[in-house]
Copies of this chain bind each other. A is one copy, B any other.
């Protein structure tokens, strides 16, 4: 609960989660059918350095909100909808 809330207490991370709700709309190079959006596209859209965005993605992944898939040199990120829903429902029950 605490780690999840910490992961959400940053504007850039909230924005990343929002963008990934609709990859095709937010990342024109992505057709939405693949295993997610590659880190470079997210980094570019966030307008921060690669290392900074990589850290944000790692925090979101550790919190369970994102899943990562390595495919060749690229790492694709996508939302873990099941765990996101599980979190919001737990919050509704326990908060």
* Choice from B9, B84, B95 contacting A17 with Cβ under 8 Å: B95
Number of A residues, CB within 8 Å of B: 20
Copies of this protein chain in the complex: 2
Main secondary structure of the interface of A (DSSP, over half): helix
Taken together as a complex, chains A and B put the C-alpha atoms of A9 and B5 apart, in Å, by 5
* Choice from B1, B2, B11, B91 contacting A2 with Cβ under 8 Å: B11
Contact present for B8 and A5 (CB under 8 Å):
yes
**Residue ID in chain B nearest A88 by CB atoms:** B92
Interface set, chain A 42-95, CB cutoff 8 A to B: 84-85, 87-89, 91-92, 94-95
Listed in ascending order, the chain A residues whose CB lies under 8 Å from chain B are 1-2, 5-6, 8-11, 14, 17-18, 84-85, 87-89, 91-92, 94-95
